[in-house]
Amino acid sequence: GAGVSQSPRYKVAKRGQDVALRCDPISGHVSLFWYQQALGQGPEFLTYFQNEAQLDKSGLPSDRFFAERPEGSVSTLKIQRTQQEDSAVYLCASSLAIGGDREEAFFGQGTRLTVV
Amino acid sequence: AQSVTQLGSHVSVSEGALVLLRCNYSSSVPPYLFWYVQYPNQGLQLLLKYTTGATLVKGINGFEAEFKKSETSFHLTKPSAHMSDAAEYFCAVTEPNDMRFGAGTRLTVKP
């Protein structure tokens, strides 16, 4: 596709429900990032993939959060037993590489998760 | 690990006035620095970036930023604000395999 695509755009989940958020990066992009953006805040790093390898998951706030990118393209962020504090916009970004002169990250429009 | 501090969560200017949004960073390696803009209900859009070379970089919509290593700063400026510039602006710093954002500055432009 032309850009990074995230689905769904909006998700309302009942507290305790599991959710899965999808990210389709730009074709050929090696690097993929997930961020959490709470209302009025900047994006907070969650996790980073290089192809299918999850190189950094230090930003995942708890073991209820899990991300995968099994074939090095589409990625899924899963949140188990959602809590109200999980309500945020979840942003996905991809780039050709990190390092060198090709490190610009392209962002999707995000998935707004509301836990009620 | 790198970090970014944006001074001022809200900046308000009059249309036609100078825009100055401040960003300071810390990084253990020579940084790559970015400014992104976010309009309501939209994703982040790259305004400009600094990697190497010229320290004054020009971006879209008339914005520019200057990398000052001695001050660890990368402030964003625009000589004359437009109403359409009203948005949230984020400064970001990258090291290999990592990109971190500031908390953002909301720019309001008054007629």
Could you give the 3-state DSSP secondary structure of residue B110?
A: strand
Flag the least confident range among A67-71, B24-28, B73-77: B24-28
* Residues in chain A closer than 8 A to B102 (CB atoms): 42
Instruction: Compare CB distances from A56 to B43, B94, B97 and report the shortest one's residue.
Output: B97
- Nearest-by-CA chain A residue for B34: A104
Shortest Cα–Cα distance, A56 to chain B (Å):
8
Shortest Cα–Cα distance, B44 to chain A (Å):
6
Question: How confident is the model over B57-67, as pLDDT tens digits?
Answer: 999 999 999 99
Distance CA B59, CA B62 (A): 6
Instruction: Compare CB distances from B94 to A44, A103, A106 and report the shortest one's residue.
Output: A103
Question: How confident is the model over A43-58, as pLDDT tens digits?
Answer: 999 999 999 999 989 9
What are the b/e assignments for A68-83, b being 16+ CB within 10 Å?
Answer: ebeeebebebebeebe
Question: Taking residues B8-21, what's their average pLDDT?
Answer: 96
Q: Name the helix (H) or strand (E) containing A111.
A: strand A111-115
- The pLDDT assigned to A116 comes to 96
The answer to whether the CB atoms of A104 and B49 lie below 8 A apart is yes
* Residues in chain A closer than 8 A to B94 (CB atoms): 98, 103
- The pLDDT assigned to A66 comes to 97
Would you give the DSSP letter of residue B70? G
* Residues in chain A closer than 8 A to B99 (CB atoms): 33, 45, 93, 98, 103, 105
Tokens of B56: 């004054």
